[in-house]
Amino acid sequence: MRWLRKHILAIIAIAVLVYLFIPIAVIMVLSFNNPAGKFNLSWNEFSTDAWTGLCDVPGVCSSFVQSIEIGLIATIIATVLGTMISFALVRYRFRGRSTTNLLIFLPMATPEVVMGASLLALFLNMKFPLGILTITVAHIMFIISFVVVTVKARLQGMDPRLEEAARDLYADSRAVFRYVTFPLVLPGILGAALLGFSLSFDDFIISYFNAGTLVTFPIFIWGAAQRGIPVQVNALATLVFLIALAIVLGGQFFQFRRRKSLDRPAPLVAAEKVDAFSRS
């Protein structure tokens, strides 16, 4: 009983983590399912057909590729624009700061329905054809804010003394940026890009409003939800999940390994201590 009291928090925490993964498990398991009817909702029999024939169902692979294309373009542009804004916010003085801040952070507080709807209203009023251009434009729009938040935090957390030290050591402004500022902000920029890409790839609502006849992966899934989602979709989603997980875990592991190899081996530590002592 006392063991329970002591560990109740850990138990709850693990339970919540498990809860977060239940639907993931369902998705993965059902990717190996051969459904009885059109709907892949309950387990029928084991089959790897979906995995071996990933592109068998028309529209699955094309929408997947479409989402990746849009994601890449939107992410690159949004990351560049967002990083520029971050630098301006943190390092420069300018007028109209509060309006700028509002404009940047309001998209994060606006429901997607409203953002998607308003963009659609704009395009309709401009009589602009809906398609890949409108979706990409929309994605860039809502990714920028997230990039700014991420990169800005990273910039603000940087010790300003480091840039001063660089200037003290004969680096002019360009060299300071190239050798000190940029390398130190880069992890933040990469993180923001990763975040941006995942937001774009998984976006449904805003895309749906502005896609016209174009089909992205989430739009395909939504359309298929009424008729029955092909098992291939589960397989692809599982694939994306595993790859993303691998990337993130890989990054963590890589950092962990570097930190471990940085611990000095025991004999060296002892030798240093003796040195220090004999010199005092």
Q: Contacts with another protein in 200-229 (CB under 8 A)? A: 202, 204-205, 208-209, 217-218, 221-222, 225, 229
Among 10, 58, 98, 265, binds another protein (CB under 8 A): 10
Least distance from another protein to the Cβ atom of residue 110, Å: 7
118-147 positions binding another protein, by CB under 8 A:
118-122, 124-125, 137-138, 140-141, 144-145
The window from 46-54, 55-63, 68-76, 246-254 that contacts another protein (CB under 8 A) reads: 246-254
Residue (of 214, 100, 204) closest to 148 by Cα position:
100
DSSP characters over 103-146: HHHHHHHS-HHHHHHHHHHHHHHTTPPPSHHHHHHHHHHHHHHH
* CB neighbourhood size of 9 (10 A): 9
Annotate each residue in 175-194 with x if it binds another protein (CB under 8 A) or - if it does not, as one string.
x---xx--xx----------
Residues 6+ apart with CB under 8 A from 215: 59, 62, 63, 66, 223
> Could you say whether residue 90 binds another protein (CB under 8 A)?
yes
Cα distance between residue 128 and residue 130, in whole Å? 6
> Could you say whether residue 170 binds another protein (CB under 8 A)?
yes
Cα distance between residue 258 and residue 212, in whole Å? 48
Binding footprint of another protein, residue count (CB under 8 A): 109
The window from 45-53, 54-62, 68-76, 96-104 that contacts another protein (CB under 8 A) reads: 96-104
Please say whether the beta carbons of 86 and 147 come within 8 A.
yes
For another protein, which is the closer residue by CB, 55 or 106?
106
Cα distance between residue 19 and residue 11, in whole Å? 12
Cα distance between residue 128 and residue 133, in whole Å? 10
> Could you say whether residue 88 binds another protein (CB under 8 A)?
yes
Among 166, 192, 193, 231, binds another protein (CB under 8 A): 166
> Could you say whether residue 55 binds another protein (CB under 8 A)?
no
Cα distance between residue 130 and residue 187, in whole Å? 35
Among 1, 92, 265, 274, binds another protein (CB under 8 A): 92
Among 17, 213, 266, 267, binds another protein (CB under 8 A): 17
